[in-house]
Structure 1
Amino acid sequence: MSAFSFGSPGGPKLCILAKRTNEKTVWCYNKAKCPAPIFLSRELFGVMTDFEFSGAPSLTSHSNAERHLPDLSPVSRDMLHEQIYEMLKRNLMMGRFKPGQKLPLRGLAKSLGTSLMPVRDALQRLESAGSVVSTPSRTMMVPVFSRKQMQDICTLRTVLESAAVERAATLRTKEQLENLGLHVADIRRSAETDDIDLFLEANYHFHMLIAEMSRLSFIGQLLEPLWMHLGPSIRSSVPNKALFQSSARNHQNVYDAIARRDPIAAIAAIRTDITEGYNF
């Protein structure tokens, strides 16, 4: 059994007790003087592991702490890196960044509550997909696409999502249709309240669910890069009321065609939605 204490001189300390049991590591801690959340990255037992402690009750002793903790295996570094990558990727697709916005490494790491390494790795993966670009100062940035590039994204989305919605109209399940209806309701509510954040999130989930409903292999991997390019571009402009309402009608039309299991009408509706969406 080993004990570790971390903290600055004169400041709050976090004491961690690590015990090996049947090849697993059980962690407990005394949080009485430590504000939450606290994020650590330490090399213990030869494995670099990232930990997050938040919202747990103060524990008076290590033995009491061990009785309250479930038997958990440490989270691997690879898992953390993948979580950070997925989080940044989804935020791009949902338009939470704007074209031209810089993505400073330290700022992202602080916001995500993690070390620099997983954020750096995630940004490098996004750069290889063309979803972020490096500036002369080596800071990553959301790219700014030309009008032709945006038109090309529209063309590619039309081809892929038409194929997806055609199959979704015949293969969808009742549960999937219900979930699709929830996203339509959110899009309609975003139009009524001019809520761009709600619209971007609901719009993303609506289209990704149709891709899932199609059961087409690789459709998600093909669409995601296009959506990482698209999301920031929608964010860069503020849709007016008429465009919001038009988008809500288009999504309703797609939903209705899928509900009727009418693939021809579904294709026409999704193409209208994609084409008019670039007026944003």
Structure 2
Amino acid sequence: MGIMEHNPASSEQPDDALSGRMGRIVRLTLADTVYRDLKEILLSGRAAPGERFTLRGLATAIGTSPMPVREAVSRLAAENALEVLPNRAVRVPLMPRVRFEELRLIRIQLEGLAATTAAANATEEDIAEVARFERLFAAEREKRKPDGAAAMRYNKDLHFALYRAARLPTLLQMIEGLWLQIGPVLNLDFQAGPDRVRQGEAHVHHEALVAALKAHDPDAARAALVSDIWSAGDFILSRGILPD
């Protein structure tokens, strides 16, 4: 009888503990999903420097409770991708000119290494993936009124298809961290207007990059990638809208 009396208590406790753990799993999984979605917005330049949100507004837009949004925002703030302001607002950080120039130099080294390695090791499938985004970008550029947001997305997808082809996970993670900070600033390039998408040099560098991959030419791949980063940076700096 003692055993029978003890069993309900012992079985009830694990059920309660399991229920608690399941609740945490669901919450964390949802927070991971929100984090991934917010990260994609930043990486693809769909949010501009200085743009503000509220936790409640983000939660409403995403269709979830504030808790997973708060967790995702905290992670992104720790990665210098977002700022949490005293009034619970969330802001995409402003990018001082000197910091932009510093990040550009770092990007050239890290992303240049990825391009070099990818050119040496890329498979036919890797090259086809980069070429697919190059064609999508080119097709958007040829439109009478190109969509700057679409151009930014194809540009980001092309770059990361290239970086994944290097098969250096740690390097890819480092590059992603840089893009979380630099992505919103690229908004100042492609969103400058349809003429910028049509008249910019990005398509030239993209074509050269695909050609270098097909030829498995590491030096040419790095040169095309560096030219792409440098020319986009020069245009953004020329606009004179980054704070000193």
**1:112 positional shift:** 0.7
- One of 61, 79, 82 as aligned partner of 1:132: 82
The TM-score, its normalising length taken from structure 2, stands at: 0.81
The structure richer in helix per residue is: 2
**1:81 positional shift:** 1.1
1:234/1:217 CA distance change after superposition, 3 Å = closer
Matched, 1:277 2:229: no
Quote the residue 1:216 is aligned against: 168
Q: Whole-Å Cα distance in 2 between the matches of residues 243 and 274 of structure 1?
A: 15
Counterparts of 1:20-99 in structure 2 under 5 Å? 45-46=19-20, 49=23, 76-99=26-49
Quote the residue 2:98 is aligned against: 148
- One of 137, 144, 165 as aligned partner of 2:115: 165
- One of 136, 139, 151 as aligned partner of 1:189: 139
**1:239 positional shift:** 4.8
The TM-score, its normalising length taken from structure 1, stands at: 0.71
**1:47 positional shift:** 5.4
Q: CA RMSD in A?
A: 1.9
Per mean C-alpha deviation after superposition, the further-off stretch among 242-251 and 116-125 is: 242-251
Q: Percent identity?
A: 30
Quote the residue 2:184 is aligned against: 232
SS in 2 for 1:218: helix
One-letter code aligned to 2:210: Y
Q: Whole-Å Cα distance in 2 between the matches of residues 220 and 214 of structure 1?
A: 8
Q: Whole-Å Cα distance in 1 between the matches of residues 181 and 139 of structure 2?
A: 25
**1:219 positional shift:** 1.4
**Any conservation in 2 of the 1:200–1:231 contact (CA below 8 Å)?**
no
Paired residues in the alignment total 213
1:239/1:246 CA distance change after superposition, 3 Å = farther
One-letter code aligned to 2:206: H
The structure richer in strand per residue is: 1
Structure 1: which 5+ residue stretches go unaligned?
1-43, 51-74
Q: Which is bigger in relative contact order (C-alpha 8 A, separation at least 6)? A: 2
Quote the residue 1:199 is aligned against: 151
Structure 2: which 5+ residue stretches go unaligned?
1-17, 237-244
1:265/1:239 CA distance change after superposition, 3 Å = farther
One-letter code aligned to 2:42: L
1:176/1:48 CA distance change after superposition, 3 Å = same
SS in 1 for 2:80: coil
